[in-house]
Amino acid sequence: NAGVMQNPRHLVRRRGQEARLRCSPMKGHSHVYWYRQLPEEGLKFMVYLQKENIIDESGMPKERFSAEFPKEGPSILRIQQVVRGDSAAYFCASSPGVAGNTIYFGEGSWLTVV
Amino acid sequence: AQSVTQLGSHVSVSEGALVLLRCNYSSSVPPYLFWYVQYPNQGLQLLLKYTTGATLVKGINGFEAEFKKSETSFHLTKPSAHMSDAAEYFCAVSDDDDMRFGAGTRLTVKP
């Protein structure tokens, strides 16, 4: 039973390029969360999605960031026109969606903007 | 909305000493509480969680945490630290199916 799968694990982008991070939730999980972890900082909530719906995007920067979780396929976190400050580890997690259920994390995607 | 405060971004203990990592939460409804551990360059792994029932929760690797409603706390403890416990620890609260994390506490274990 595969866990939460994220790819790529490491991504290097030049300033101004686009970064796309993918997350496949665990089998049977319909809820996906994205978190960002900056160096020496904690885990910051970005967005919470169910299939085809954004439930809570209160942690998403207002510009350049977007997320989707289509009916088919992985969840995508998209960062347009990346800047150096976007360099971070981006973690995806999934859960079945029942209150109190554990959420399971992927191994993370490390974005470096040069 | 729920939130979590972890007191102390860095905690250092000697091998064999007591580990105490502090977590306080705020929630408008009875919360679900979690502790996760993160080793370098890895994702987070669940240590333990409180949903209902017994307020003292035992987790993996000898860790346990006690839910104290009157203090809105969920501190993580381990009687005797091991070198392999060195990691980052995150407390989290969920009052529905959303989950929010504290800023994390980095535990260092000295030989």
B99 with A104: Cβ contact below 8 A = no
Contact B4, B98 (CB under 8 A): no
Is the Cβ of B101 closer than 8 Å to some Cβ of chain A? yes
Q: Give the residue on A whose Cα is nearest the Cα of B10.
A: A40
- Residues of chain B numbered 14-33 and touching chain A (CB < 8 Å): 32
Cα–Cα dist B110/A50, whole Å: 43
CB contacts of A34 in chain B (<8 Å) are none
Question: pLDDT tens digits for B75-110?
Answer: 999 999 999 999 999 999 887 667 788 889 999 999
Distance from CA of B95 to the nearest CA of A (A): 7
Contact partners, residue A41, CB within 8 Å, separation at least 6: B103, B104
Question: pLDDT tens digits for B5-35?
Answer: 999 889 999 999 999 999 999 887 778 999 9
Cα–Cα dist A68/A96, whole Å: 17
Residue type present at position B3: S
Contact B23, B5 (CB under 8 A): yes
Question: pLDDT tens digits for A24-48?
Answer: 999 989 899 999 998 767 788 899 9
Is the Cβ of B36 closer than 8 Å to some Cβ of chain A? yes
Q: Best interface-test mutation with B: which of A31, A102, A107, A110 has the largest number of B CBs within 10 A?
A: A102
Q: Which residue has the tokens 């029932």?
A: B53
Q: Give the residue on B whose Cα is nearest the Cα of A110.
A: B41
pLDDT bracket for residue B58 (50, 70, 90): very high
Angle at B108 between CA A92 and CA B50, to 5 degrees: 50
The per-residue pLDDT for B98 is 72
Cα–Cα dist B93/A114, whole Å: 35
